[in-house]
């Protein structure tokens, strides 16, 4: 099983054991919504997700500096790149970059690599050296969130107009 | 009088294909650096009809976003809606009645055939043959009529609901679908006789634009682009969803890696879709098309969800980040042709321009689906 193998490989990125998942309060029970404080941002680490609920198996949150190492691990294990996108966590003052990977063979294993950067200076390294197909995905993420991909060969607007200086998927974007 | 432009032997020039060019099937522009008839370098420019569906996804509630999905890919719209409803149902724990799932599969497969037929006609027209398009449209018209009678629209369907369907199929639809299957099989024989064996057609595709397995993987290609390069990848088989495990069908795979292989994959897929429709009609269970119990307001619990489906154009993925509210916090649409088109820049280097246009046709592009 590739999932088990990859789990062990990815685990080497985290010398400290991963703490328990934080999404515990999500399920059911309509408690008083107003009293619930949002959970703090998740610490870096590797989680196994329930595939039948979430649609993916492994979920690794890493530091931006570890990105190239983690993506190389997936490349070595013959994963293909599904997509790259961002999420604006404005309350935590952070931007998240999410990388989706999957496989062509029948050994099903979907992997999500995510990394968080500061909202003011969002810079992550590019992975176009490893996956050339990341090129457009990174340009699109730069369009929508203003995340800079350090070392990207051609980081100009892709879907937005060529003179666009706005990032529409930021939560504080006003049209 | 303008004097003719004379180029030095090593000089290249820039050729703009599009954004308004019939070969690109929409507003796609390719900036090509040419050396005579040969492409030295190409840069694809997209985004001419970008509508920011992902922002709309954040601003609308879950049901309000249903109609957006069919505006992405106007030829195979139902596949995209299928992914969306499956995702939201999975996230919020809605159980779909079996009959509804069967009808969904039948409709998606019919839509897939319609999409492949249009691709077939347009592709052959790109290569200079006009009449196959007319035959293909005639067959496609039968499907559109069937779908229109049930869903109410011909292209931009809004047929699936969270939990089921908007409308049940009637006997007329079932009879029409049963009539259509033998008709389509007969047409397929005609198409193969008319087009597949044609020497001009074959000469323009055989051995043209080889895509290696490795390249497909690095770009995340799917659909016939991957399956024409010997990758046995079909989300319906690799990551079974809906009622697809109940059906007996094959995934056509060709190992030639050229444009003809991609053509053959799609032609064979029409037959496989017909098999699914046939089995779906045979097995179609009775019962309701909407669940008895369904939450009034759809609010998936906070968390990340991902759903992939095999649409006519490949593996369509949809990623939802929910914060437990009535709108998605983030909705990412991973469109298959976006990845398939991306490898064009690298693959077309050194190719002759007419081969590159044939290659572009074999990718089965729908531009609104790339631009979203």
**Domains in chain B: boundaries:** 13-371
Tell me whether A145 touches chain B (CB under 8 Å).
Answer: no
DSSP 8-state assignment for residue A77: T
Å between A62 CA and nearest CA of chain B: 17
For residues B265 and A149, what is the distance between their CA atoms, to the nearest angstrom? 37
Query: So what's the pLDDT on residue A19?
Result: 56
> Which residues on A lie below 8 Å from B319 (Cβ)?
83, 85, 98, 100
Structure-token pair, residue B34: 């040419």
Please give the pLDDT value at position B19: 81
Residue B320 to residue B300: CA distance in whole angstroms? 10
Q: Is the pLDDT of residue A34 over 80?
A: no
User: What is the SS3 assignment for B317?
Assistant: strand
Contact B47 A98 (CB under 8 A): no
Residue B365 has what pLDDT?
A: 86
**For B192-220, what is each residue's pLDDT tens digit?**
988 988 888 888 888 888 888 889 999 98
Using an 8 Å Cβ cutoff, are A101 and A126 in contact?
no
Average pLDDT value over all residues in chain A: 82
The pLDDT value recorded for residue B4 is 74
CA angle in degrees (0–180, nearest 5) for A147-A152-A155: 65
What average pLDDT does this structure show over A28-47? 62
Round to whole Å and give the CA distance between B361 and B151. Answer: 30
**Where does the pLDDT of residue A39 fall: very low under 50, low under 70, confident under 90, or very high at 90 and above?**
low
Q: Which pLDDT score, from 0 to 100, does residue A22 have?
A: 52
Name the residue in chain B with its Cα closest to that of A167.
B55
CA distance A164 to A148: 15
Contacts of B84 (CB under 8 A, 6+ apart): B65, B66, B69, B160, B318
List chain B residues with CB under 8 Å of A100. Answer: 306, 317, 319, 334
SS3 B313: coil
Taking only the tens of pLDDT, chain B with its 372 residues reads 677 777 777 788 888 887 877 666 778 888 999 888 889 889 999 888 888 899 998 888 998 998 888 888 888 889 999 999 999 998 888 889 999 999 999 999 999 999 999 999 999 988 888 889 999 999 999 999 999 999 988 888 889 988 888 888 888 999 999 999 999 999 999 999 889 888 888 888 888 888 888 899 999 898 889 999 989 999 998 888 889 998 999 999 999 888 899 999 999 999 999 999 999 999 888 888 888 887 788 888 888 899 999 998 889 999 999 888 888 999 999 999 999 999 898 888 888 888 888 898 888 888 888 888
Q: Residues A105-121: what's their mean pLDDT?
A: 88
* Model pLDDT, residue B85: 92
pLDDT at A165: 85
Question: Quick one: pLDDT band at residue A38, thresholds 50, 70, 90?
Answer: low
Chain A residue nearest residue B346, CA to CA = A132
pLDDT of residue A24: 46
Per-residue pLDDT at A41 exceeds 90 = no
**B45, B47, B240, B305: best to mutate for the A interface, most A CBs within 10 A:** B47
Residue B95 is predicted with a pLDDT of 87
Res B175: pLDDT: 92
Residue B130 CB contacts under 8 Å (≥ 6 apart), including other chains: none
Indicate the angle between helix axes B98-126 and B171-191, nearest 10 degrees: 30
- The model's confidence at residue A17, banded by pLDDT at 50, 70 and 90, is low
- Which of B46, B319, B329 is nearest residue A159 as measured by Cβ atoms? B46
B70 contacts B80 by C-beta, under 8 angstroms: yes
Please give the Cα distance from A136 to B340 (Å, whole number): 11
* Domains identified in chain A and CATH numbers: 1-11+42-175 (3.30.460.80)
- How far apart CA B156 and CA B208 sit, in angstroms, is 34
Residue B260 to residue B282: CA distance in whole angstroms: 34
B263 in helix, strand or coil?
helix
Question: Do A135 and B342 count as a contact with CB atoms less than 8 A apart?
Answer: yes
Q: Where are the alpha helices (DSSP H) in B194-257?
A: 199-205, 213-219, 223-227, 235-238
Which residues from chain B sit within 8 angstroms of residue A136, using beta carbons?
338, 342
* CATH number assigned to the domain covering B13-371: 1.10.645.10
Q: CB–CB of B308/B329 below 8 Å? A: no
How far is the C-alpha of A115 from the C-alpha of A58, rounded, in Å? 14
Q: Is 50 exceeded by the pLDDT of residue A28?
A: no
Flag if B321 and A87 touch (Cβ within 8 Å): yes
pLDDT of A124 over the 80 cut: yes
């Amino acid at each position: 099983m590739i999932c088990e193998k990859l789990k062990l490989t990815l685990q080497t990125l985290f010398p400290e054991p991963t703490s328990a998942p934080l999404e515990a309060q999500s399920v059911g029970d309509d408690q008083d919504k107003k009293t619930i404080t949002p959970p703090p941002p998740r610490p870096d680490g590797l989680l196994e997700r329930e595939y039948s609920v979430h649609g993916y198996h492994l979920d690794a949150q890493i530091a931006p500096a570890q990105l190239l190492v983690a993506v190389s691990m997936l490349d070595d294990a013959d994963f293909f790149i599904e997509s790259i996108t961002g999420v604006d966590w404005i309350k935590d003052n952070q931007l998240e970059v999410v990388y989706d990977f999957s496989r062509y063979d029948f050994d099903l294993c979907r992997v999500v690599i995510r990394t968080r950067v500061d909202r003011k200076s969002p810079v992550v390294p590019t992975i176009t050296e490893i996956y050339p197909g990341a090129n457009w995905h990174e340009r699109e993420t730069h369009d929508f969130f203003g995340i800079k991909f350090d070392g990207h060969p051609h980081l100009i607007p892709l879907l937005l107009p060529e003179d666009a200086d706005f990032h529409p998927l930021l939560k504080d974007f006003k049209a | 009088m303008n004097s003719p432009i004379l180029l030095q032997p090593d000089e290249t020039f820039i050729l703009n294909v599009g954004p308004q060019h019939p070969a690109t099937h929409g507003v796609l522009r390719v900036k090509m650096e040419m050396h005579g008839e040969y492409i030295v370098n190409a840069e694809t420019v997209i985004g001419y009809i970008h509508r920011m569906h992902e922002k709309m996804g954040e601003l609308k509630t879950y049901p309000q976003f249903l109609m957006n999905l069919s505006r992405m890919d106007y030829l195979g719209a139902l596949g995209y809606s299928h992914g969306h409803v499956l995702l939201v149902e999975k996230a919020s724990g809605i159980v779909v009645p079996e009959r509804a799932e069967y009808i969904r599969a039948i409709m998606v497969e019919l839509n897939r055939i319609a999409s492949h037929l249009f691709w077939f006609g347009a592709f052959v027209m790109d290569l200079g043959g006009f009449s196959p398009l007319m035959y293909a449209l005639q067959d496609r018209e039968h499907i559109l009529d069937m779908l229109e009678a049930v869903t109410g629209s011909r292209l931009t369907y809004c047929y699936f609901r969270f939990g089921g369907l908007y409308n049940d199929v009637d006997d007329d639809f079932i009879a029409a679908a049963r009539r259509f299957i033998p008709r389509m099989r007969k047409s397929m024989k005609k198409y193969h006789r008319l087009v597949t064996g044609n020497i001009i057609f074959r000469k323009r595709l055989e051995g043209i634009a080889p895509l290696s397995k490795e390249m497909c993987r690095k770009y995340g290609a799917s659909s016939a682009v991957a399956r024409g390069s010997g990758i046995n990848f079909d989300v319906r088989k690799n990551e079974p969803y809906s009622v697809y495990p109940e059906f007996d069908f094959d995934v056509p795979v060709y190992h030639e890696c050229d444009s003809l292989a991609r053509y053959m994959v799609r032609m064979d897929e029409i037959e496989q879709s017909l098999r699914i429709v046939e089995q779906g009609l045979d097995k179609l269970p009775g019962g309701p098309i909407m669940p008895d119990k369904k939450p009034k307001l759809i609010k998936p619990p906070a968390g990340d969800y991902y759903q992939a489906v095999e649409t006519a154009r490949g593996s369509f993925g949809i990623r939802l980040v929910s914060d437990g509210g009535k709108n998605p916090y983030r909705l990412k649409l991973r469109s298959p042709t976006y990845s398939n088109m991306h490898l064009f820049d690298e693959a077309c280097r050194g190719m002759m321009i007419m081969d590159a246009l044939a290659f572009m046709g074999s990718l089965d592009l729908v531009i609104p689906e790339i631009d979203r």
